Structures are given as structure tokens and as C-alpha cells.
Structure 1
Amino acid sequence: MSLSLKTHIVAFIDLLGFSSMVSHDCEKPDGEQKYISKLFDIHTKTKEISASLPGMSLTQFSDSVVLSVPYSADNFSSICKIISDFQYDLLCSGILCRGGISYGKHFSTEDFLFSHGLIDAYNIESKLALNPRVVISKALIELVFGSTGNVNSELILEENDGLFFLGYLNGESAAGNLVVLENVLPEKLSEHPSIRAKQIWLIDYFNNKYPENKIRESHRFSLCRA
């Protein structure tokens, strides 16, 4: 049997705080689970949407989500929209994620996956994304747009670290997105450095998108008085 490796766009998404979600639901009695239904409903909704895109594949196992589709510029736009909406749906349920999108030779079935594109996407997620954002490889950006200076998409943002990521505050208004964001931001930000950095990033993302409606201006330093 000859198997063919073809160029695909591949995304790897990591659900942040998954261990805590599993612990919460497994320790609660029936009827008091909080996360399993949300995650399953979002997965089902995204899979139904993905079915309309020929060759699209979506697989979730544990805290990892893999999406792939044969490469084309149109498919790039479509998978970006699907991932952006997936990330927003998670956010609306109080769940954060981060990820990477790349491309490369890829083969998969329902229970087998062999992919160079997935390796690249995973490396982007684990080494570059850091914050709750889905970062797109510059090589893929250049393949689609010709160069990083020609990016033309309402969904794609460039951060000051030079990385491109998918925008996902997809509510209809600043007020609507603020309600969603406040659902994941505690009144007092975490003292854990990694968690706090992600919370501050979310605030900065909102403030950049809505400069006239800024929230929680960051005052990082205070004077210690004797």
C-alpha cells in the first residue's frame, strides 16, 4: 500500500489549565462537572463547521487539538477563521488556549498521523506562542502573502516581538468582548508569574483592539515608602 504525503496547513492547539479542569470535573459528583460538556460542545460545533471544508481534519486528545487541511490560499483563510472562532468559543467558556500554525508534508487518518507540519506547529506553540495566542509561522505567512510585509487579513495581527497571531476577540462590540474577558480575569491578577503574564497579555490585547475603551491600565511598579 503506497501512502502519499501531501502539503497541508497544520495547527496544534494546547488547552491551558487542562489538568485543573480534569481534576475539577473528576472530583465533583455527577451533575456538577463544569468543563467536560463545554469542551465537548465546542469540539462538536467546530467539527461540524470543519466538515464543510474538503479535506479538513480535526482531532482532540487530552489537552491537544490538531487541525489540518490541504494547502491553498483559500484554505488558509478558512482554517484561520475556524481556529479564531474556536479560540473565541473557548474564551466565552472561560478557557484559554495557545497554539501554532505551520505547513508541511502531512498524512493522517482517523487513528494515524504522520506529519512534518505538525512538528513545526507544535514547536511554535511550545517555544514561541507563550501567551494565549495562536502564532502563524513566518514561512507560511510568506507562502500565502509573498512576504510578511504584504499581510492582508482582518484576522491576523503582528505583535511587537515580530510574530503573527490570530485575532480572536470576535464579539460584536467592545462591551461584549469585555464581558467575555472579565469572565477569565480575576479581580486581582494572579501572583503566579506565568499566569499573571498571560492575564496581562489579554488586557494588553483588549486595550490594543479598543484604545478608546481601555481596561485595567497596567501600573507595574509602585513606590515602596519607609
Structure 2
Amino acid sequence: MVNSIVCAIDILGFSQMIVNSSKNGYGNNLLTEINYLINKNKQCIIPNKYSKGKIKIFTDNMVVAYPIKGDGEKELDEILENVAEYQFNLSLEGLFVRGGISMGDFYINEDKVFGSALLDAHNTESKIACYPRIILDNNTVSKVQTYMNHYDVAP
């Protein structure tokens, strides 16, 4: 496993969209539309080639992970900028997301995602975020406060 910054994102109301579209015979239409919207907007969230970040998308969930180099400030900055743009773009399409960001051990390959950072990000998303927003878990907030102490900014 690798020390990483992990963001778990969930499209809100997606399960109900599936139920409604399947019941009304529009399941394929929903799939086409959602694929189009996610593919169109995921360009802003794709990690740059230097960060070596990875993305996994399954149903209405996305996991974005960046391995941490050094103190992780650069990677945290990149993931925050990218997920904010992704969230904004999807909201313009009428899709709202909720997410959680955590730092810690994480593993990702073609088939699997695994690790405490994923569990913490998912728990933050599902139990704390509650509304359409992407929030940091407590450990990541502490890390941000440490970064801010290196700059001339008010707490």
C-alpha cells in the first residue's frame, strides 16, 4: 500500500434514477446519458501525468487517489482543485455529488481498490457530508492546518 490522498465521490439520487428509468423502460437512455456526462466532465479530474494519480468509476461512485510525495501538500492542492471543478461541472448538468477526502494507506490496480484511506473517505462521504459537498476528514483538516502554518495566513 502507498500513502495517498483519496477522494470518494457519490452522485446523489442515482439509485432512484436507475429505479425510475428501469421501471419506465429508459434504462439504456439513462446509461447513455450518465456515461456521456461523466466522460465529458471527468477530464477535469484526471490526475496529471506527474502525480501518478488514478481514478476508478463504478455505478455512481468515483474514487480518485494520488500517491503522496513529500508532505502531500501539492497532491492535496491538486485533488481539491480537480474535485471542486468536477463537482461544479456536474452541478451545471443537474447532478449533485457528495464526497469525502482522506489521507492514508491505499492500494489501487485494474481490479481492486483497498485501504484505510478509502474507508475513511467513504465514511466521511456517507456519514458526515450529508449534503452535496466534498469534505475533508479530521486527519486531513489537521494536515491542512499544518500547511497553513507555513504561510502568512490567518487561521
**2:98, 2:133 within 8 Å by CA — same for their partners in 1?**
yes
Tell me which residue corresponds to 1:10.
6
Change (3 A) 1:87 1:152: farther
Q: CA deviation at 1:34?
A: 4.8
Instruction: Answer whether contact 1:141 1:151 (CA < 8 A) is retained.
Output: no
d(CA) in 1 for partners of 2:128, 2:94? 23
User: Aligned pair 1:66/2:63, yes or no?
Assistant: yes
What is the rounded CA distance, in whole Å, between the counterparts of 1:48 and 1:152 in structure 2? 30
Tell which has more relative contact order, 1 or 2 (C-alpha 8 A, sep 6+). Answer: 2
1:104 aligned partner? 104
What are structure 1's unaligned runs of at least 5 residues? Answer: 154-226
**Aligned mates of 1:151, 1:123 — CA distance in 2:** 31
Q: What is the match of residue 82 of structure 1?
A: 82
Are the structure 2 counterparts of residues 151 and 24 from structure 1 closer, same or farther at C-alpha, using a change threshold of 3 Å?
A: farther
Distance 1:145 1:112, change over 3 A: same
125-134 or 14-23: bigger deviation? 14-23
Mark the CA change 1:43 to 1:115 in structure 2 (over 3 Å): closer, same or farther.
farther
Could you tell me how far apart the structure 2 residues matched to 1:24 and 1:89 are?
24
Give per-residue Cα distances to partners, 1:32-80, cap 9 Å, x unaligned: 8256424443245415751424311111111221110012211111111
- 1:57 corresponds to which of 31, 54, 63: 54
| TM-score normalised to structure 1 length | 0.57
- Contact 1:145–1:151 (CA under 8 A) maintained in structure 2: no
Rounded Cα–Cα distance in structure 2 between residues aligned with 1:102 and 1:151: 22
Kindly tell me: are residues 152 and 117 of structure 1, through their superposed partners in 2, closer, same or farther at Cα, counting changes over 3 Å?
Answer: farther
Alignment correspondent of 2:124: 124
TM-score (norm 2): 0.80
Which letter does structure 2 place at the counterpart of 1:104?
G
Within 5 Å, which residues of 2 pair with 1:68-217? 68-71=65-68, 72-146=72-146
SS of 1:33's partner is: helix
The CA deviation string for residues 181-222 of structure 1, in whole angstroms up to 9 with x for no partner, is xxxxxxxxxxxxxxxxxxxxxxxxxxxxxxxxxxxxxxxxxx
Amino acid aligned to 1:57: K
Aligned residues: 149
The 3 A distance-change label for structure 1 pair 110 and 133 is: same
Identity rate of aligned residues, in percent? 26
Q: Which structure features the higher share of strand residues? A: 2
Q: Residue 23 of structure 1: CA displacement?
A: 2.7
Structure 1 132/45 Cα, relative in aligned 2: closer, same or farther at 3 Å? closer
Q: Which has the larger radius of gyration?
A: 1
